[in-house]
Chains A and B, each alone.
Chain A
Protein backbone atom coordinates (compact mmCIF):
# COMPACT_ATOMS: atom_id res chain seq x y z
CA UNK A 1 0.00 0.00 0.00
CA UNK A 2 2.76 2.37 0.98
CA UNK A 3 4.49 1.75 -2.33
CA UNK A 4 1.31 2.49 -4.25
CA UNK A 5 0.88 5.85 -2.51
CA UNK A 6 4.45 6.78 -3.12
CA UNK A 7 4.19 5.85 -6.77
CA UNK A 8 1.14 8.08 -7.08
CA UNK A 9 3.02 10.95 -5.47
CA UNK A 10 5.90 10.50 -7.92
CA UNK A 11 3.56 10.47 -10.93
CA UNK A 12 1.80 13.56 -9.56
CA UNK A 13 5.15 15.32 -9.20
CA UNK A 14 6.11 14.39 -12.74
CA UNK A 15 2.84 15.71 -14.12
CA UNK A 16 3.22 18.87 -12.06
CA UNK A 17 6.64 19.57 -13.51
CA UNK A 18 5.31 18.93 -16.99
CA UNK A 19 7.72 16.10 -17.67
CA UNK A 20 5.25 13.38 -18.44
CA UNK A 21 2.51 15.32 -20.21
CA UNK A 22 4.01 18.65 -21.31
CA UNK A 23 1.56 21.39 -22.22
CA UNK A 24 0.58 21.08 -25.87
CA UNK A 25 0.01 24.58 -27.23
CA UNK A 26 -1.45 23.11 -30.39
CA UNK A 27 -4.12 20.97 -28.80
CA UNK A 28 -7.59 21.90 -30.13
CA UNK A 29 -8.64 23.41 -26.82
CA UNK A 30 -5.52 25.53 -26.59
CA UNK A 31 -5.89 26.69 -30.17
CA UNK A 32 -9.43 27.76 -29.34
CA UNK A 33 -8.29 29.65 -26.24
CA UNK A 34 -5.53 31.35 -28.21
CA UNK A 35 -7.87 32.13 -31.09
CA UNK A 36 -10.40 33.69 -28.73
CA UNK A 37 -7.68 35.87 -27.26
CA UNK A 38 -6.61 36.97 -30.75
CA UNK A 39 -10.25 37.71 -31.59
CA UNK A 40 -10.48 39.98 -28.55
CA UNK A 41 -7.30 41.74 -29.67
CA UNK A 42 -9.00 42.27 -33.07
CA UNK A 43 -6.31 40.20 -34.78
CA UNK A 44 -9.04 38.60 -36.85
CA UNK A 45 -6.90 36.88 -39.47
CA UNK A 46 -4.89 34.92 -36.93
CA UNK A 47 -8.02 34.26 -34.88
CA UNK A 48 -9.71 32.79 -37.96
CA UNK A 49 -6.74 30.48 -38.58
CA UNK A 50 -6.94 29.19 -35.00
CA UNK A 51 -10.72 28.75 -35.15
CA UNK A 52 -10.45 26.85 -38.44
CA UNK A 53 -7.86 24.53 -36.89
CA UNK A 54 -10.11 23.91 -33.89
CA UNK A 55 -13.15 23.23 -36.06
CA UNK A 56 -11.35 20.36 -37.78
CA UNK A 57 -11.52 18.51 -34.47
CA UNK A 58 -14.77 19.79 -33.06
CA UNK A 59 -17.41 21.58 -35.09
CA UNK A 60 -18.68 23.72 -32.26
CA UNK A 61 -21.39 26.23 -33.18
CA UNK A 62 -20.10 29.12 -31.10
CA UNK A 63 -16.64 28.76 -32.61
CA UNK A 64 -18.00 28.69 -36.15
CA UNK A 65 -20.11 31.73 -35.34
CA UNK A 66 -17.05 33.62 -34.15
CA UNK A 67 -15.15 32.45 -37.22
CA UNK A 68 -17.91 33.97 -39.38
CA UNK A 69 -17.72 37.16 -37.34
CA UNK A 70 -13.94 37.28 -37.84
CA UNK A 71 -14.45 36.99 -41.62
CA UNK A 72 -17.11 39.70 -41.46
CA UNK A 73 -14.69 42.00 -39.61
CA UNK A 74 -12.07 41.29 -42.28
CA UNK A 75 -14.62 42.19 -44.97
CA UNK A 76 -14.42 38.66 -46.40
CA UNK A 77 -18.15 38.60 -46.89
CA UNK A 78 -18.38 35.42 -48.93
CA UNK A 79 -16.62 33.36 -46.27
CA UNK A 80 -18.61 35.06 -43.51
CA UNK A 81 -21.85 34.19 -45.30
CA UNK A 82 -20.84 30.56 -45.87
CA UNK A 83 -20.01 30.08 -42.21
CA UNK A 84 -23.17 31.77 -41.00
CA UNK A 85 -25.23 29.63 -43.39
CA UNK A 86 -23.70 26.43 -42.04
CA UNK A 87 -25.23 27.35 -38.66
CA UNK A 88 -28.79 27.48 -39.91
CA UNK A 89 -29.49 24.10 -38.34
CA UNK A 90 -27.94 25.10 -35.01
CA UNK A 91 -30.39 24.91 -32.14
CA UNK A 92 -28.96 27.83 -30.25
CA UNK A 93 -27.46 30.07 -32.93
CA UNK A 94 -29.64 29.73 -36.00
CA UNK A 95 -31.31 33.12 -35.55
CA UNK A 96 -27.98 34.86 -34.95
CA UNK A 97 -26.54 33.11 -38.00
CA UNK A 98 -29.47 34.19 -40.19
CA UNK A 99 -29.01 37.75 -39.06
CA UNK A 100 -25.27 37.31 -39.69
CA UNK A 101 -25.96 36.52 -43.36
CA UNK A 102 -28.07 39.65 -43.67
CA UNK A 103 -25.29 41.70 -42.05
CA UNK A 104 -22.81 40.25 -44.56
CA UNK A 105 -25.07 41.31 -47.44
CA UNK A 106 -25.48 44.75 -45.91
CA UNK A 107 -21.77 45.44 -45.41
CA UNK A 108 -21.02 43.98 -48.84
CA UNK A 109 -23.38 46.60 -50.26
CA UNK A 110 -25.57 43.95 -51.89
CA UNK A 111 -28.74 45.83 -51.02
CA UNK A 112 -30.97 44.10 -53.57
CA UNK A 113 -30.27 40.62 -52.16
CA UNK A 114 -30.59 42.00 -48.67
CA UNK A 115 -34.02 43.47 -49.32
CA UNK A 116 -35.19 40.36 -51.16
CA UNK A 117 -34.17 38.00 -48.35
CA UNK A 118 -34.17 39.82 -45.03
CA UNK A 119 -37.85 39.61 -44.21
CA UNK A 120 -38.63 36.17 -45.65
CA UNK A 121 -37.74 32.58 -44.86
CA UNK A 122 -35.15 31.26 -44.20
CA UNK A 123 -33.47 34.50 -43.13
CA UNK A 124 -36.25 36.11 -41.17
CA UNK A 125 -36.49 35.43 -37.45
CA UNK A 126 -38.85 36.86 -34.89
CA UNK A 127 -35.98 37.44 -32.49
CA UNK A 128 -34.27 39.83 -34.90
CA UNK A 129 -37.35 41.38 -36.47
CA UNK A 130 -36.63 44.97 -35.42
CA UNK A 131 -32.89 44.93 -36.34
CA UNK A 132 -33.84 43.29 -39.65
CA UNK A 133 -36.35 45.99 -40.45
CA UNK A 134 -33.86 48.66 -39.47
CA UNK A 135 -31.09 47.23 -41.60
CA UNK A 136 -33.43 46.96 -44.58
CA UNK A 137 -34.47 50.59 -44.14
CA UNK A 138 -30.86 51.71 -43.80
CA UNK A 139 -30.16 49.91 -47.07
CA UNK A 140 -32.86 52.04 -48.73
CA UNK A 141 -31.36 55.20 -47.28
CA UNK A 142 -27.80 54.41 -48.34
CA UNK A 143 -28.86 53.31 -51.81
CA UNK A 144 -29.06 56.52 -53.86
CA UNK A 145 -31.21 54.85 -56.52
CA UNK A 146 -33.89 53.62 -54.13
CA UNK A 147 -37.24 55.36 -53.77
CA UNK A 148 -38.88 55.46 -50.34
CA UNK A 149 -41.18 57.36 -48.04
CA UNK A 150 -39.00 59.02 -45.38
CA UNK A 151 -41.70 59.01 -42.70
CA UNK A 152 -42.28 55.28 -43.16
CA UNK A 153 -38.56 54.54 -43.28
CA UNK A 154 -37.73 56.28 -39.99
CA UNK A 155 -40.64 54.73 -38.10
CA UNK A 156 -38.59 51.60 -37.23
CA UNK A 157 -35.82 53.55 -35.50
CA UNK A 158 -35.84 54.60 -31.82
CA UNK A 159 -38.27 57.46 -31.23
CA UNK A 160 -35.60 59.90 -30.03
CA UNK A 161 -33.61 59.40 -33.24
CA UNK A 162 -36.49 59.86 -35.64
CA UNK A 163 -36.69 63.70 -35.93
CA UNK A 164 -33.01 64.17 -36.85
CA UNK A 165 -33.10 61.25 -39.25
CA UNK A 166 -36.26 62.50 -40.90
CA UNK A 167 -34.71 65.93 -41.43
CA UNK A 168 -31.65 64.40 -43.07
CA UNK A 169 -33.78 62.21 -45.31
CA UNK A 170 -36.01 65.05 -46.41
CA UNK A 171 -32.96 67.09 -47.29
CA UNK A 172 -31.65 64.16 -49.24
CA UNK A 173 -34.94 63.66 -51.06
CA UNK A 174 -35.04 67.33 -52.06
CA UNK A 175 -31.45 68.47 -52.15
CA UNK A 176 -31.02 72.21 -52.82
CA UNK A 177 -29.27 71.57 -56.13
CA UNK A 178 -28.42 74.31 -58.66
CA UNK A 179 -28.99 73.75 -62.36
CA UNK A 180 -25.76 73.92 -64.43
CA UNK A 181 -27.83 74.91 -67.49
CA UNK A 182 -29.45 77.81 -65.63
CA UNK A 183 -26.02 78.90 -64.37
CA UNK A 184 -24.60 78.86 -67.93
CA UNK A 185 -27.60 80.74 -69.36
CA UNK A 186 -27.48 83.38 -66.63
CA UNK A 187 -23.80 83.97 -67.33
CA UNK A 188 -24.49 84.18 -71.06
CA UNK A 189 -26.96 87.00 -70.38
CA UNK A 190 -24.98 88.81 -67.69
CA UNK A 191 -21.39 87.65 -67.17
CA UNK A 192 -20.86 86.48 -63.59
CA UNK A 193 -24.56 86.05 -62.77
CA UNK A 194 -24.32 82.26 -63.14
CA UNK A 195 -21.43 82.22 -60.70
CA UNK A 196 -23.45 84.24 -58.21
CA UNK A 197 -26.36 81.80 -58.69
CA UNK A 198 -23.96 78.95 -57.81
CA UNK A 199 -22.96 80.78 -54.62
CA UNK A 200 -19.64 82.18 -55.86
CA UNK A 201 -20.44 85.88 -55.46
CA UNK A 202 -16.89 87.27 -55.52
CA UNK A 203 -16.01 85.26 -58.61
CA UNK A 204 -19.21 86.55 -60.21
CA UNK A 205 -18.25 90.18 -59.59
CA UNK A 206 -14.71 89.62 -60.88
CA UNK A 207 -16.05 87.92 -64.02
CA UNK A 208 -18.46 90.81 -64.63
CA UNK A 209 -15.71 93.40 -64.20
CA UNK A 210 -13.13 91.55 -66.29
CA UNK A 211 -15.51 90.85 -69.18
CA UNK A 212 -17.11 94.30 -69.11
CA UNK A 213 -13.83 96.19 -68.96
CA UNK A 214 -12.13 94.13 -71.64
CA UNK A 215 -15.13 94.68 -73.98
CA UNK A 216 -15.03 98.39 -73.22
CA UNK A 217 -11.28 98.62 -73.94
CA UNK A 218 -11.64 96.59 -77.11
CA UNK A 219 -14.23 99.05 -78.40
CA UNK A 220 -12.17 102.01 -77.19
CA UNK A 221 -9.02 100.71 -78.89
CA UNK A 222 -10.79 100.14 -82.20
CA UNK A 223 -12.30 103.64 -81.97
CA UNK A 224 -8.84 105.09 -81.34
CA UNK A 225 -7.54 103.25 -84.41
CA UNK A 226 -5.32 100.94 -82.38
CA UNK A 227 -6.29 97.67 -84.00
CA UNK A 228 -3.63 95.61 -82.27
CA UNK A 229 -4.89 96.53 -78.83
CA UNK A 230 -8.45 96.25 -80.10
CA UNK A 231 -7.91 92.63 -81.12
CA UNK A 232 -5.95 91.91 -77.95
CA UNK A 233 -8.88 93.05 -75.81
CA UNK A 234 -11.38 91.32 -78.09
CA UNK A 235 -9.48 88.07 -77.55
CA UNK A 236 -9.45 88.67 -73.82
CA UNK A 237 -13.17 89.49 -73.82
CA UNK A 238 -14.03 86.30 -75.71
CA UNK A 239 -11.82 84.31 -73.33
CA UNK A 240 -13.49 85.80 -70.25
CA UNK A 241 -16.99 85.55 -71.64
CA UNK A 242 -16.67 81.91 -72.77
CA UNK A 243 -14.69 80.92 -69.69
CA UNK A 244 -17.27 82.49 -67.44
CA UNK A 245 -20.15 80.55 -69.06
CA UNK A 246 -18.24 77.28 -68.76
CA UNK A 247 -17.06 78.21 -65.25
CA UNK A 248 -20.62 78.95 -64.12
CA UNK A 249 -21.88 75.54 -65.25
CA UNK A 250 -18.89 73.91 -63.55
CA UNK A 251 -19.52 75.93 -60.39
CA UNK A 252 -23.11 74.67 -60.26
CA UNK A 253 -21.92 71.07 -60.73
CA UNK A 254 -19.34 71.52 -57.97
CA UNK A 255 -21.98 72.98 -55.72
CA UNK A 256 -24.26 69.99 -56.35
CA UNK A 257 -21.44 67.50 -55.82
CA UNK A 258 -20.63 69.20 -52.52
CA UNK A 259 -24.26 69.05 -51.39
CA UNK A 260 -24.58 65.36 -52.36
CA UNK A 261 -21.28 64.44 -50.75
CA UNK A 262 -22.11 66.20 -47.49
CA UNK A 263 -25.60 64.71 -47.27
CA UNK A 264 -24.39 61.17 -47.95
CA UNK A 265 -21.38 61.53 -45.70
CA UNK A 266 -23.60 62.90 -42.96
CA UNK A 267 -25.96 59.92 -43.21
CA UNK A 268 -23.15 57.37 -43.30
CA UNK A 269 -21.48 58.97 -40.29
CA UNK A 270 -24.78 59.05 -38.45
CA UNK A 271 -25.42 55.33 -38.96
CA UNK A 272 -21.81 54.40 -38.33
CA UNK A 273 -21.83 56.39 -35.06
CA UNK A 274 -24.95 54.47 -34.04
CA UNK A 275 -23.39 51.15 -35.14
CA UNK A 276 -26.16 50.82 -37.75
CA UNK A 277 -28.58 50.20 -34.87
CA UNK A 278 -27.29 46.63 -34.71
CA UNK A 279 -27.94 44.67 -31.52
CA UNK A 280 -24.98 43.76 -29.30
CA UNK A 281 -23.40 40.35 -29.88
CA UNK A 282 -24.43 37.82 -27.26
CA UNK A 283 -20.87 36.59 -26.62
Chain B
Protein backbone atom coordinates (compact mmCIF):
# COMPACT_ATOMS: atom_id res chain seq x y z
CA UNK B 1 0.00 0.00 0.00
CA UNK B 2 1.34 3.36 -0.97
CA UNK B 3 2.19 5.64 1.92
CA UNK B 4 0.21 8.84 1.91
CA UNK B 5 2.18 12.12 2.26
CA UNK B 6 0.58 15.28 3.52
CA UNK B 7 0.13 17.93 0.90
CA UNK B 8 2.55 20.91 0.57
CA UNK B 9 -0.27 23.25 1.45
CA UNK B 10 -0.80 21.42 4.70
CA UNK B 11 2.88 21.55 5.54
CA UNK B 12 3.11 25.28 4.89
CA UNK B 13 0.06 25.83 7.02
CA UNK B 14 1.62 23.88 9.85
CA UNK B 15 4.78 25.97 9.49
CA UNK B 16 2.76 29.15 9.80
CA UNK B 17 0.96 27.69 12.79
CA UNK B 18 4.29 26.84 14.37
CA UNK B 19 5.56 30.35 13.81
CA UNK B 20 2.46 31.80 15.42
CA UNK B 21 2.62 29.21 18.18
CA UNK B 22 6.23 29.91 19.02
CA UNK B 23 5.89 33.67 19.04
CA UNK B 24 4.04 34.07 22.35
CA UNK B 25 6.24 31.42 23.96
CA UNK B 26 9.38 33.12 22.86
CA UNK B 27 8.06 36.57 23.78
CA UNK B 28 9.27 39.64 21.92
CA UNK B 29 12.07 39.66 19.41
CA UNK B 30 15.57 39.82 20.92
CA UNK B 31 16.13 43.47 20.03
CA UNK B 32 12.86 44.52 21.65
CA UNK B 33 13.76 42.43 24.67
CA UNK B 34 17.15 44.11 24.88
CA UNK B 35 15.53 47.53 24.52
CA UNK B 36 13.08 46.72 27.31
CA UNK B 37 15.92 45.63 29.57
CA UNK B 38 17.82 48.86 28.90
CA UNK B 39 14.66 50.84 29.53
CA UNK B 40 14.13 49.07 32.85
CA UNK B 41 17.69 49.88 33.94
CA UNK B 42 17.20 53.48 32.89
CA UNK B 43 13.92 53.75 34.77
CA UNK B 44 15.56 52.25 37.86
CA UNK B 45 18.23 54.95 37.71
CA UNK B 46 21.03 52.50 36.91
CA UNK B 47 22.47 54.78 34.27
CA UNK B 48 25.86 53.15 33.80
CA UNK B 49 24.25 49.77 33.10
CA UNK B 50 21.58 51.42 30.99
CA UNK B 51 24.24 52.97 28.75
CA UNK B 52 25.93 49.57 28.39
CA UNK B 53 22.70 47.86 27.39
CA UNK B 54 21.64 50.60 24.98
CA UNK B 55 25.08 50.39 23.40
CA UNK B 56 24.74 46.58 23.18
CA UNK B 57 21.39 47.10 21.51
CA UNK B 58 22.98 49.48 19.00
CA UNK B 59 25.76 47.02 18.30
CA UNK B 60 23.39 44.20 17.38
CA UNK B 61 20.72 46.36 15.77
CA UNK B 62 22.07 46.02 12.25
CA UNK B 63 18.95 47.53 10.70
CA UNK B 64 19.20 50.54 13.04
CA UNK B 65 15.60 50.15 14.15
CA UNK B 66 16.41 51.43 17.62
CA UNK B 67 19.07 53.92 16.63
CA UNK B 68 17.24 57.08 17.66
CA UNK B 69 15.73 55.61 20.83
CA UNK B 70 19.07 54.27 22.01
CA UNK B 71 21.05 57.40 21.06
CA UNK B 72 18.55 59.53 22.95
CA UNK B 73 18.49 57.32 26.01
CA UNK B 74 22.28 56.96 26.12
CA UNK B 75 22.45 60.75 26.06
CA UNK B 76 19.83 61.00 28.81
CA UNK B 77 21.71 58.44 30.92
CA UNK B 78 24.95 60.35 30.54
CA UNK B 79 23.12 63.56 31.40
CA UNK B 80 21.60 62.01 34.52
CA UNK B 81 25.07 60.77 35.49
CA UNK B 82 26.49 64.28 35.11
CA UNK B 83 28.65 63.34 32.10
CA UNK B 84 27.52 66.31 30.08
CA UNK B 85 30.13 66.12 27.30
CA UNK B 86 29.17 62.54 26.44
CA UNK B 87 25.49 63.43 26.77
CA UNK B 88 25.82 66.25 24.23
CA UNK B 89 27.69 63.94 21.85
CA UNK B 90 24.79 61.48 21.89
CA UNK B 91 22.08 64.16 21.71
CA UNK B 92 23.72 65.35 18.50
CA UNK B 93 23.68 61.75 17.24
CA UNK B 94 20.02 61.50 18.23
CA UNK B 95 19.26 64.69 16.28
CA UNK B 96 20.73 63.04 13.20
CA UNK B 97 18.96 59.72 13.66
CA UNK B 98 15.60 61.22 14.68
CA UNK B 99 12.78 59.68 12.62
CA UNK B 100 10.61 62.80 12.69
CA UNK B 101 10.88 66.56 13.36
CA UNK B 102 9.24 66.01 16.75
CA UNK B 103 12.00 63.69 17.95
CA UNK B 104 14.67 65.92 16.39
CA UNK B 105 13.26 68.89 18.28
CA UNK B 106 13.21 66.90 21.53
CA UNK B 107 16.89 66.01 21.10
CA UNK B 108 17.79 69.61 20.30
CA UNK B 109 16.00 70.86 23.40
CA UNK B 110 17.74 68.26 25.55
CA UNK B 111 21.06 69.25 24.01
CA UNK B 112 20.34 72.87 24.95
CA UNK B 113 19.28 71.90 28.47
CA UNK B 114 22.51 69.97 28.91
CA UNK B 115 24.51 72.97 27.70
CA UNK B 116 22.69 75.11 30.27
CA UNK B 117 23.63 72.64 33.00
CA UNK B 118 27.21 72.49 31.73
CA UNK B 119 27.20 76.30 31.98
CA UNK B 120 28.22 76.65 28.34
CA UNK B 121 25.70 79.48 28.12
CA UNK B 122 26.90 80.99 24.80
CA UNK B 123 26.49 77.58 23.12
CA UNK B 124 23.03 77.12 24.64
CA UNK B 125 21.97 80.56 23.41
CA UNK B 126 23.42 79.89 19.98
CA UNK B 127 21.44 76.64 19.68
CA UNK B 128 18.29 78.38 20.95
CA UNK B 129 18.70 81.16 18.38
CA UNK B 130 19.00 78.53 15.64
CA UNK B 131 15.94 76.72 16.94
CA UNK B 132 14.02 79.98 17.07
CA UNK B 133 14.97 80.78 13.48
CA UNK B 134 13.90 77.29 12.37
CA UNK B 135 10.66 77.45 14.33
CA UNK B 136 7.75 76.91 11.94
CA UNK B 137 4.96 79.49 12.35
CA UNK B 138 6.31 80.45 15.74
CA UNK B 139 5.51 77.06 17.21
CA UNK B 140 7.61 76.09 20.23
CA UNK B 141 8.49 79.73 20.81
CA UNK B 142 7.06 79.58 24.29
CA UNK B 143 9.43 76.75 25.23
CA UNK B 144 12.37 78.41 23.46
CA UNK B 145 11.89 81.59 25.53
CA UNK B 146 11.59 79.46 28.66
CA UNK B 147 14.99 77.82 28.07
CA UNK B 148 16.52 81.12 27.00
CA UNK B 149 15.47 82.40 30.43
CA UNK B 150 17.26 79.47 32.06
CA UNK B 151 20.36 80.00 29.94
CA UNK B 152 20.56 83.67 30.91
CA UNK B 153 19.91 82.76 34.54
CA UNK B 154 22.82 80.30 34.55
CA UNK B 155 24.85 82.94 32.72
CA UNK B 156 24.18 85.31 35.64
CA UNK B 157 22.10 87.75 33.58
CA UNK B 158 18.90 87.86 35.62
CA UNK B 159 17.47 90.95 33.90
CA UNK B 160 17.48 89.26 30.47
CA UNK B 161 16.34 86.02 32.05
CA UNK B 162 13.30 87.81 33.48
CA UNK B 163 12.57 89.29 30.05
CA UNK B 164 12.69 85.85 28.40
CA UNK B 165 10.54 84.28 31.12
CA UNK B 166 7.97 87.05 30.63
CA UNK B 167 7.59 85.82 27.02
CA UNK B 168 6.83 82.29 28.14
CA UNK B 169 3.50 81.16 29.58
CA UNK B 170 5.25 78.83 32.02
CA UNK B 171 7.84 81.39 33.12
CA UNK B 172 5.80 83.63 35.43
CA UNK B 173 7.22 82.33 38.72
CA UNK B 174 10.80 82.34 37.45
CA UNK B 175 10.34 85.82 36.01
CA UNK B 176 9.43 87.13 39.47
CA UNK B 177 12.37 85.33 41.08
CA UNK B 178 14.74 86.76 38.46
CA UNK B 179 13.36 90.29 38.87
CA UNK B 180 13.77 90.06 42.65
CA UNK B 181 17.31 88.72 42.27
CA UNK B 182 18.26 91.39 39.77
CA UNK B 183 16.86 94.11 42.03
CA UNK B 184 18.83 92.72 44.98
CA UNK B 185 22.14 92.66 43.11
CA UNK B 186 24.76 95.38 43.49
CA UNK B 187 25.89 97.39 40.51
CA UNK B 188 29.63 96.90 40.12
CA UNK B 189 29.86 100.00 37.93
CA UNK B 190 27.97 102.11 40.46
CA UNK B 191 30.19 100.86 43.30
CA UNK B 192 33.28 101.87 41.30
CA UNK B 193 31.90 105.26 40.22
CA UNK B 194 30.96 106.37 43.73
CA UNK B 195 34.38 105.21 44.93
CA UNK B 196 35.99 107.49 42.37
CA UNK B 197 33.93 110.40 43.70
CA UNK B 198 34.15 109.64 47.42
CA UNK B 199 36.72 107.03 48.51
CA UNK B 200 35.13 104.35 50.69
CA UNK B 201 31.61 105.01 49.39
CA UNK B 202 31.61 101.89 47.22
CA UNK B 203 32.62 99.72 50.16
CA UNK B 204 29.88 101.25 52.29
CA UNK B 205 27.37 100.69 49.43
CA UNK B 206 28.21 96.97 49.43
CA UNK B 207 27.71 96.77 53.21
CA UNK B 208 31.38 96.82 54.26
CA UNK B 209 31.08 99.82 56.55
CA UNK B 210 34.31 99.48 58.55
CA UNK B 211 36.44 99.02 55.42
CA UNK B 212 34.66 102.00 53.87
CA UNK B 213 35.41 104.30 56.81
CA UNK B 214 39.04 103.12 57.02
CA UNK B 215 39.45 103.63 53.31
CA UNK B 216 38.06 107.14 53.56
CA UNK B 217 40.43 107.90 56.46
CA UNK B 218 43.56 106.64 54.64
CA UNK B 219 42.66 108.53 51.51
CA UNK B 220 42.06 111.78 53.41
CA UNK B 221 45.29 111.47 55.39
CA UNK B 222 47.51 110.56 52.43
CA UNK B 223 45.76 113.16 50.28
CA UNK B 224 46.44 115.79 52.91
CA UNK B 225 50.15 114.85 53.11
CA UNK B 226 50.42 114.96 49.37
CA UNK B 227 48.71 118.38 49.09
CA UNK B 228 50.72 119.83 51.95
CA UNK B 229 53.96 118.73 50.26
CA UNK B 230 52.92 120.45 47.06
CA UNK B 231 51.86 123.50 49.10
CA UNK B 232 55.37 123.61 50.58
CA UNK B 233 56.62 123.48 46.97
CA UNK B 234 58.21 120.08 47.59
CA UNK B 235 57.08 118.70 44.27
CA UNK B 236 59.11 115.49 44.27
CA UNK B 237 57.99 114.69 47.80
CA UNK B 238 54.40 115.38 46.81
CA UNK B 239 54.73 113.07 43.80
CA UNK B 240 56.27 110.34 45.94
CA UNK B 241 53.56 110.54 48.59
CA UNK B 242 50.92 110.79 45.90
CA UNK B 243 52.20 107.76 44.04
CA UNK B 244 53.22 105.54 46.93
CA UNK B 245 50.50 106.40 49.42
CA UNK B 246 47.55 108.35 48.10
CA UNK B 247 47.18 106.60 44.74
CA UNK B 248 47.64 103.23 46.37
CA UNK B 249 44.77 103.86 48.79
CA UNK B 250 42.68 105.51 46.09
CA UNK B 251 43.13 102.65 43.61
CA UNK B 252 42.71 100.08 46.39
CA UNK B 253 39.39 101.62 47.42
CA UNK B 254 38.04 101.33 43.87
CA UNK B 255 39.30 97.78 43.46
CA UNK B 256 37.83 96.77 46.82
CA UNK B 257 34.44 98.28 45.98
CA UNK B 258 34.34 96.30 42.75
CA UNK B 259 35.53 93.08 44.45
CA UNK B 260 32.95 93.34 47.25
CA UNK B 261 30.14 94.01 44.76
CA UNK B 262 31.12 90.94 42.71
CA UNK B 263 31.32 88.77 45.85
CA UNK B 264 27.96 89.94 47.13
CA UNK B 265 26.38 89.34 43.72
CA UNK B 266 27.78 85.82 43.65
CA UNK B 267 26.23 85.16 47.06
CA UNK B 268 22.86 86.47 45.84
CA UNK B 269 23.03 84.42 42.62
CA UNK B 270 23.92 81.24 44.49
CA UNK B 271 21.11 81.83 46.96
CA UNK B 272 18.63 82.20 44.11
CA UNK B 273 19.85 79.10 42.30
CA UNK B 274 19.76 77.14 45.55
CA UNK B 275 16.20 78.31 46.14
CA UNK B 276 15.15 77.32 42.62
CA UNK B 277 16.82 73.94 42.94
CA UNK B 278 14.91 73.12 46.09
CA UNK B 279 11.62 74.95 45.74
CA UNK B 280 10.81 75.44 42.08
CA UNK B 281 8.39 72.77 40.88
CA UNK B 282 8.40 73.56 37.15
CA UNK B 283 10.60 71.96 34.50
CA UNK B 284 14.32 72.36 35.16
CA UNK B 285 17.21 71.81 32.72
Contact = CB atoms under 8 A, between A and B. Distances in A.
A49 interface: yes
Contact of A3 (B6, B18, B59, B237): B6
A151 B55 CA distance: 51
Given A10-B11, A18-B29, A236-B244, A25 B56 contact: yes
Interface string A1-36: 011001100100110011110111100001001100
A168 interface: no
A1 to B, nearest CB: 9
B284 interface: no
Interface residues of A, number: 32
Interface string A227-258: 00100100010000000000000000000000
Q: Is the interface of B mostly helix, strand, loop or mixed?
A: helix
Contacts of A217: 236-237, 240
A19 B52 contact: no
A37 B34 CA distance: 18
Given A6-B11, A229-B225, A22 B26 contact: yes
Given A22-B26, A33-B59, A232 B225 contact: yes
A108 to B, nearest CB: 26
B217 to A, nearest CB: 15
B259 to A, nearest CB: 23
Interface string B15-59: 100110011001001100010000000000000000110011001
Contacts of A34: 55-56, 59-60
B176 interface: no
Interface in B218-267: 225, 234, 236-237, 240, 244-245
Interface residues of B, number: 27
Contacts of B14: 10
Contacts of A173: none
Interface string B158-183: 00000000000000000000000000
A22 B225 contact: no
B136 interface: no
Contact of B23 (A2, A19, A23, A232): A19
Interface in A185-208: none
B19 A14 contact: yes
B8 interface: yes
Interface string A207-234: 0001001100100110000000100100
A46 interface: yes
A22 B240 contact: no
Most chain B CB atoms below 10 A, which of A3, A25, A229: A25
Contacts of B225: 229, 232
A210 B244 contact: yes
Contact of A19 (B19, B55, B236, B245): B19
A230 B175 CA distance: 61
A74 interface: no
Given A22-B30, A33-B59, A214-B244, 10 more contacts: A19-B18, A19-B22, A20-B22, A23-B30, A25-B30, A34-B60, A37-B59, A38-B55, A213-B236, A213-B240
16 contacts: A3-B11, A7-B11, A13-B19, A17-B19, A18-B29, A19-B26, A20-B22, A22-B30, A24-B30, A25-B60, A34-B60, A37-B59, A38-B55, A43-B55, A46-B51, A217-B240
